[in-house]
Amino acid sequence: MTRQSLDSFIRATSTFCSNLDAFSTTEKPSIRALLEECEELAEHAPSVREAIRNTPTSTKRSFGFLYSLFEMCKRNLDEIEKKPDMQLLRNRLLTNTAQLKRALTSFSTQLP
């Protein structure tokens, strides 16, 4: 994976965050569409890990944290799909989305 591919991953993750924000206010895109987007992003993880293999440990940790937040958002979406009226789950998704955005910014600024 080249820097261009990493940039593409960062843009896709940023778009995912924007879609999560939109979902929290408009219910669009659908949970199913967001979960499909999660699957597509998850497919990139091994390539990203390979691309940052020779970067400082802090970059690897930053990606690990970013990916764990991404997985939390995915779990939140799974739970919301099962219990769509539970406000606590939606609040948790908002919190995790904000954390994911910050982690994405941190990760992207650490790349060479």
For residue range 66-81, list pLDDT tens digits in order.
999 999 999 999 999 9
| Residue 63 pLDDT | 94
Q: Which residues contact 79 (CB under 8 A, 6 or more apart)?
A: 86, 89
Higher pLDDT, 1 or 23: 23
* CATH node for 3-110: 1.20.120
Residue 79: name the closest of 87, 67, 69, 89 by CA: 89
The residue extents of the domains of the chain are 3-110
Residue 24 confidence class, pLDDT cut points 50, 70, 90 = confident
pTM of the model: 0.89
Q: Which residues contact 34 (CB under 8 A, 6 or more apart)?
A: 16, 19, 20, 23, 77
| Residue 1 pLDDT | 54
